Amino acid sequence: MKSDKNTAVISVIGKDRVGIIAGVSALLSENNININDISQTILNGIFTMIMLVDLKDNVIENSDITDKLNKLGEDLGVTITIQHTELFDRMHRI
């Protein structure tokens, strides 16, 4: 993955339920954060999603989007994390 200060990885994990993708997508759209790529699956009732998002045109501070994603995760009963791709790459380097 190419590191870029304007891109981030969002991961969502939790018990599957209606509205997870809609909720996350709506929050990102409201803050002008574009989804560049997305992978989602359900394994034995556990919902997992990884998104690559573009932050270059976002209309919110990064700390505020983290707070909003955490709150949304609580509301949806899932765990949502966001990391800049540079940090993600460093953490997953062999």
Look at residue 32 and tell me if it is in a domain: yes
Look at residue 58 and tell me if it is in a domain: yes
Look up the domain containing 70 and give its range: 7-91
**pTM: predicted TM-score of the whole model, two decimal places:** 0.84
Over residues 49-74, the pLDDT tens digits come to 999 999 998 877 777 999 999 999 99
* SS3 call for 52: strand
State how far the Cα of 35 lies from the Cα of 49, in Å rounded to an integer: 12
CATH number of the domain to which 50 belongs: 3.30.70.260
State how far the Cα of 91 lies from the Cα of 94, in Å rounded to an integer: 9
Domain total of the chain = 1
Look at residue 1 and tell me if it is in a domain: no
Look at residue 2 and tell me if it is in a domain: no
Q: Is the CB of residue 49 less than 8 Å from the CB of residue 38?
A: yes
Over residues 10-37, the pLDDT tens digits come to 999 999 999 999 999 999 999 999 999 9
24 alpha-carbon distance from chain centroid: 7
